[in-house]
């Protein structure tokens, strides 16, 4: 009987609270893992943490479909005390601003919602680095800019506290291709021309304006 109840709940797609059409989410926490440089994180942890670093808007087309746009920013610090390339020591600070647009599919289970989908991503960033040259001991500082484009797959779980407030945990796997602006020939690039990584994000969302009912009626003969 319990199994039948779970099955019918999934099939019926009935949320506990009245569905709202508009959603505005604030990213409370973002954890980023960038595979190719994770070992160089300044705090010696594989994940880089950012707080309050994103905003997302969703328009819910129906109980099962939504489109979304988001803006997020990431800051990361890297340190290589043992040296790399021509540097006896090296440090870098990386800042990224990303804009994403995508589609989301939802599964409603009472106060809980499962969701997943895909994103297209455009971004802009810069790196400021400094180090001590191995040959002379002289200090070096530099800065370069780049743009990113790519995509991501995501999935997550949302818990509704009321029809207007929810909390979501979302995981993303992303791939970004990088285009660097012209820089001096002797510039050292710690970061590769593509970025493969993972994000774990926590969102607090506010839901507004009751979703319009859409009647699916049989065709008249």
In this prediction, residue 104 carries a pLDDT of 97
Structural domains counted in the chain: 1
How many angstroms separate the CA atoms of 92 and 142, rounded?
9
Name the average pLDDT for the chain.
86
Tens digit of each residue's pLDDT (9 = 90 or more) over 49-64: 899 999 999 999 999 9
Range of the domain at 58: 2-210
How many angstroms separate the CA atoms of 219 and 201, rounded?
44
Q: Give pTM, 2 decimals.
A: 0.82
215 domain residue, yes or no:
no
217 domain residue, yes or no:
no
What CATH code is carried by the domain that includes residue 172?
2.40.160.20
126 domain residue, yes or no:
yes
In this prediction, residue 11 carries a pLDDT of 47
CA 62-156-7 angle, 5° bins = 65
221 domain residue, yes or no:
no
9 domain residue, yes or no:
yes
pLDDT of 5 higher than 70: no
Across the range 179-183, mean pLDDT stands at 78
In this prediction, residue 86 carries a pLDDT of 82
38 domain residue, yes or no:
yes
218 domain residue, yes or no:
no
216 domain residue, yes or no:
no
């Amino acid at each position: 009987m319990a199994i039948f109840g779970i099955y019918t709940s999934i099939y019926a797609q009935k949320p506990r609270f009245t569905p709202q059409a508009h959603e505005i989410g604030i990213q409370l926490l973002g954890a980023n893992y960038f595979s190719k440089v994770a070992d160089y994180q300044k705090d010696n942890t594989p994940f880089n943490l950012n707080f309050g670093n994103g905003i997302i808007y969703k328009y819910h087309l129906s109980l099962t479909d939504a489109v979304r746009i988001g803006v997020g920013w990431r800051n990361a610090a890297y340190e290589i005390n043992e040296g790399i390339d021509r540097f006896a020591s090296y440090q870098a600070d990386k800042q990224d601003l990303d804009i994403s647009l995508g589609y989301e599919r939802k599964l409603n289970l009472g106060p809980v919602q499962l969701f997943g989908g895909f994103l297209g991503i455009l971004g802009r960033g810069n790196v400021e680095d400094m180090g001590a040259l191995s040959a002379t001991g002289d200090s070096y500082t530099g800065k370069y800019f780049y743009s990113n484009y790519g995509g991501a797959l995501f999935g997550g779980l949302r818990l509704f506290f009321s029809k207007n407030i929810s909390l979501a945990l979302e995981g993303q796997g992303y791939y970004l291709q990088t285009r660097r602006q012209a820089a001096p020939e002797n510039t050292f690039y710690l970061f590769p021309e593509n970025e493969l990584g993972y994000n774990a994000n926590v969102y607090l969302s506010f839901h507004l304006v009751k979703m319009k009912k859409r009647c699916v009626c049989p065709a008249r003969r």
